[in-house]
A and B are shown apart, each in its own frame.
Chain A
Amino acid sequence: MSTTFLGFIQQVINGLTLGSIYALIAIGYTMVYGIIGMINFAHGEIYMIGSYVGVLVLTALTLLGLQSVPLMLLLTLVVSILVTSAYGWTVERLAYRPLRGSPRLAPLISAIGMSIFLQNYVMLGQGARDISMQPLIAGGWRFGAEGGFQVYLSYMQVLIAVVTVIFMALLTLYISRSRMGRACRACAEDREMANLLGIDTDRVISLTFVLGAALAAVAGVLVGLYYGKINPFIGFVAGIKAFTAAVLGGIGSIPGAMLGGIVLGLTESFASAYLSTQYKDVVAFGLLVLVLLFRPTGLLGKPDVEKV
Chain B
Amino acid sequence: MTLKRRLPEALSMSLLTALLTLPVLGVHLQVEGLKVALQGDARPVCIAMTAVFLARLFQEPLKQAYSWLNLGRLLPGPQRLATYRTPLLTLLVGAALIWPFFASRGAVDVATLSLIYVMLGLGLNIVVGYAGLLDLGYVAFYAVGAYSYALLAQNFGLGFWECLPVSVAMTATAGCLLGFPVLRLRGDYLAIVTLGFGEIVYLLLNNLDSLTGGPDGVKNIPKPTFFGLEFAREPSTPGGVTFHRFFGLDYRGGDVVIFLFLLALVLVLFILFVIDRLIRMPIGRAWEALREDELACVSLGLNPTVIKLSAFTLGASFGGFAGAFFAARQGFINPESFTFIESAIVLAIVVLGGMGSQIGVILAAVALTVLPEVARQFQEYRMLAFGLVMILMMIWRPQGLLPASRPRLELPQ
A285 touches B200 (CB 8 A): yes
A90 at the binding interface (Cβ < 8 Å): yes
B25 interface residue, CB < 8 Å from A?
yes
25 residue pairs of the A-B complex, CB under 8 angstroms, read: A39-B191, A49-B23, A52-B29, A53-B23, A55-B29, A94-B391, A95-B391, A104-B188, A105-B187, A109-B347, A110-B391, A113-B387, A114-B387, A114-B391, A119-B387, A125-B24, A126-B29, A127-B28, A134-B34, A134-B36, A247-B189, A278-B206, A289-B193, A292-B193, A306-B295
Known: A90-B16, A110-B395. A285 touches B29 (CB 8 A): no
Shortest C-beta distance, A120 to chain B (Å), equals 4
CB distance from B291 to the nearest CB of A (A): 9
Q: Hey, which chain B residues are within 8 Å of A104, CB to CB?
A: 187-188
* A211–B380 alpha-carbon span in the complex (Å): 32
Report the separation of the CA atoms of residues A144 and B91 in the bound assembly, to the nearest whole angstrom: 78
| Contact across chains for B203 and A56 when beta carbons are under 8 A apart | no
A109-140 to B contact mask, C-beta < 8 Å, 1/0: 11011111111111111110101111000000
Please state if B197 and A285 are interface contacts (CB–CB under 8 Å): yes
Q: In the bound complex, do residue B29 and residue A296 qualify as a contact, i.e. CB atoms below 8 Å apart?
A: no
Is A255 part of the binding interface, using a Cβ–Cβ cutoff of 8 Å?
no
Cβ–Cβ contact A59 & B38, under 8 A: yes
Q: How far is the CA of A116 from the CA of B192 in the complex (A)?
A: 15
For the complex, is B370 an interface residue (Cβ under 8 Å from A)? no
Q: Is A102 an interface residue (CB 8 A)?
A: yes
**Given known A-B contacts A83-B23, A292-B185, A308 and B134 have beta carbons under 8 A apart:** no
Total count of chain A residues near the partner, CB < 8 A: 68
**CB < 8 Å: which of A53, A116, A126 contacts B28?**
A126
Flag B216-236 by CB within 8 Å of A: 1 or 0 each: 000000000000000000000
A86 located at the interface, meaning its Cβ lies under 8 Å from any Cβ of chain B in the complex: yes
Are the C-beta atoms of B188 and A108 separated by less than 8 Å? yes
Q: How far is the CA of A82 from the CA of B197 in the complex (A)?
A: 35
A169 contact set on B, CB distance < 8 A: none
CB closest chain-B residue, reference A130? B31
Contact (A99, B192) CB under 8 Å given A108-B134, A121-B24: no
Smallest CB–CB gap between A1 and chain B, Å?
Answer: 34
User: Known interface pairs A59-B38, A115-B387, A285-B196. Does A110 touch B394 (Cβ–Cβ under 8 Å)?
Assistant: yes
CB-CB < 8 A to B128: which residues of A? 105
Check if B136 is an interface residue, CB within 8 A of chain A: yes
Determine the chain A residues whose CB is within 8 A of the CB of B24 once the complex forms.
Answer: 49, 52, 121-122, 125-126
Asked if B187 and A116 make an inter-chain contact with CB atoms under 8 angstroms apart, the answer reads no
* 15 additional contacts (CB under 8 A) given A95-B395, A115-B387, A117-B384: A55-B29, A55-B36, A59-B36, A105-B134, A109-B347, A120-B384, A125-B28, A126-B24, A126-B29, A131-B29, A240-B192, A244-B192, A244-B196, A289-B181, A292-B185
For B16-27 the 0/1 string (1 means CB < 8 A from A) is 100110011101
User: Is the beta-carbon distance between A293 and B391 smaller than 8 angstroms?
Assistant: no
Name B's interface SS.
helix
Choose one: A118, A125, A282; the contact of B25 (CB below 8 Å).
A125
Given A121-B384, A134-B34, A293-B181, A113–B20 Cβ distance below 8 Å? no
Q: In chain A, residues 246-266, which have Cβ atoms closer than 8 Å to a Cβ of chain B? A: 247
Q: Does any Cβ of A come within 8 Å of B333's Cβ? A: no
Q: Is B10 part of the contact surface with A, judged by Cβ < 8 Å?
A: no
Cβ of B268 within 8 Å of any chain A Cβ, yes or no, is no
Most buried by B among A121, A134, A243: A121
Given A126-B28, A236-B340, is A293 in contact with B182 using a C-beta cutoff of 8 Å? yes
How far, in angstroms, from A288 to B390 measured CA to CA in the complex? 27
Q: How many A-B residue pairs have CB under 8 A?
A: 171
In Å, the complex CA distance between A14 and B381 comes to 38
Residues from 1 to 57 in B contacting A, C-beta threshold 8 Å: 16, 19-20, 23-25, 27-29, 31, 34, 36-38
CB distance A112 to B16 under 8 Å?
Answer: no
A131 to B36, CA, bound (A): 8
Considering only residues 376-410 of chain B, those with a C-beta below 8 Å from chain A are 380-381, 383-384, 386-391, 394-395, 398
Known A-B contacts A83-B19, A109-B347, A236-B340; A99 and B390 likewise in contact (beta carbons under 8 Å): no
Complex interface: chain B residues within 8 A of A116 (CB): 344, 383-384, 386-387, 390
Residue of B nearest to A306 (CB): B295
B387 touches A308 (CB 8 A): no
Interface centre among A104, A134, A282, by most chain B C-beta atoms within 10 angstroms, is A282
Q: Does A193 interact with chain B (Cβ within 8 Å)? A: no
**Quick one: closest B residue to A128, CB to CB?**
B380
* B367 part of interface (Cβ distance < 8 Å): no
- Please measure, in the bound complex, the distance between the C-alpha atom of A155 and the C-alpha atom of B266, giving whole angstroms: 63
Q: Is A106 an interface residue (CB 8 A)?
A: yes
Instruction: Point out the residues of chain B lying under 8 angstroms from A102, CB to CB.
Output: 394, 398
> Which of these, A56, A98, A292, contacts B38 with CB under 8 Å?
A56
CA distance A53 to B29 in the complex (A): 10
- In the assembled complex, the Cα of A117 lies from the Cα of B394 at a distance in Å of 14
Nearest CB in chain B: distance from A2 CB, A: 31
Measured between beta carbons, the chain A residues less than 8 angstroms from B323 are: none
Chain A residues near B136 (CB, 8 Å)? 112
Q: Which residue of A lies closest to B26 (CB)?
A: A125
Rounded to whole Å, the gap between the CB of A155 and the closest CB of chain B is: 21
Q: How far is the CA of A44 from the CA of B186 in the complex (A)?
A: 22
The answer to whether A278 and B386 touch across the interface, beta carbons within 8 angstroms, is: no
- Within 8 Å by CB of B188, from A38, A86, A244, lies A38
Within 8 Å of chain A (Cβ to Cβ): is B288?
no
**Interface: A165 (CB within 8 A):** no
